Amino acid sequence: MRIAITGKQGQVVSSLADVGPNLGVEVVPVGRPELDLLAPETVQPALANSRPDVIVNAGAYTAVDQAEKEPDQAMANNATGAGAVANAARALNVPVIHLSTDYVFDGRKSTPYVEDDPVAPANVYGASKLAGERAVAAATDDHVIVRTAWVYSPYGKNFVRTMLTLAQNRDEIRVVADQDGCPTYAHDVAVAIVAIARNLLDRADDEQLRGIFHLACAGETNWAEFASAIFESLSVLGKPIPTVKPITTAEYPTPARRPANSRLDCSKLARLHGIRLPPWRASLRECLSRLMT
């Protein structure tokens, strides 16, 4: 199986390139300059050249706060660009797996979100990703939209790597404690993507396998507890660790409003695709072992 994935350096792109060979999958990253989501006319030719069996759209504008200042650019990447990828998948007669986000919800629900809960993005980034979901669904029926949350990995900019950097020169770190979610390891996302892709190819006529699914590691926490778990692993290695001071969202204002509840109910993915991600603490330990060896 050959998977073409948009982008060349993102967390999921890098993780899929890591796991692909061990899973018997050829992974072909396709990004700038050959494929530019801001230039939709480049999308189909670039993807056609990769001769994919499945296309994964992981390319996106992900600067959540900056999106408040650059709404047009966020929308062009995350909505128009996503639609171009899905249109290319339809033209090439292959399935598309599109990565989306918990930010399509406003975070006001008191329990984990299921796929058919009402969407109500609270920021520009979330609105652009929701528009992308709709563009993908409108372009082709042969799609899976995967909403995930709180993604981290050994690559790029993410919460885990930020905390490890801060731990080197701070005695105390203030971390928001009133936002709940499911930390999700990009390696686990990549393995799940391969499993979803196989299901789509093996059961091409099964409509239940298409549509929107939630994908996150098992369990839940808040940002402050997540930071503490990261530092606990450092402590085991005998390294000095900072104290985590829990604070409220109001004490750490950001241009884009974050959902208070980013928890995702992933039972639909387990029921229909047979995919369950590991507990978040176990995946965190795996990621940290890679970062610290």
Q: What is the pTM of this model?
A: 0.95
Residue 60: its pLDDT value, please? 93
The pLDDT score that the predictor gives to residue 123 is: 97
Q: Which of 61, 113, 125, 185 is catalytic?
A: 125
Helix (H, G, I), strand (E, B) or coil at 12: helix
Asked whether the beta carbons of 77 and 38 are under 8 A apart, the reply is yes
Q: pLDDT tens digits, the chain, 293 residues: what are they?
A: 999 999 998 999 999 999 999 999 999 999 999 999 999 999 999 999 999 999 999 999 999 999 999 999 999 999 999 999 999 999 999 999 999 999 999 999 999 999 999 999 999 999 999 999 999 999 999 999 999 999 999 999 999 999 999 998 899 999 999 999 999 999 999 999 999 999 999 999 999 999 999 999 999 999 999 999 999 988 777 778 899 999 999 999 999 999 999 999 999 999 999 999 999 999 999 999 898 87
252 is catalytic: no
Which stretches within the chain are classed as H helix? 11-19, 43-49, 71-75, 81-92, 124-139, 159-166, 186-202, 223-236, 267-273, 280-291
Q: Distance between CA atoms of 189 and 228, rounded to whole angstroms?
A: 23
Catalogue all structural domains in the chain, each as residue range(s) with its CATH number.
2-156+185-216+264-278 (3.40.50.720)
How far, in Å, CA of 104 to CA of 122, rounded? Answer: 8
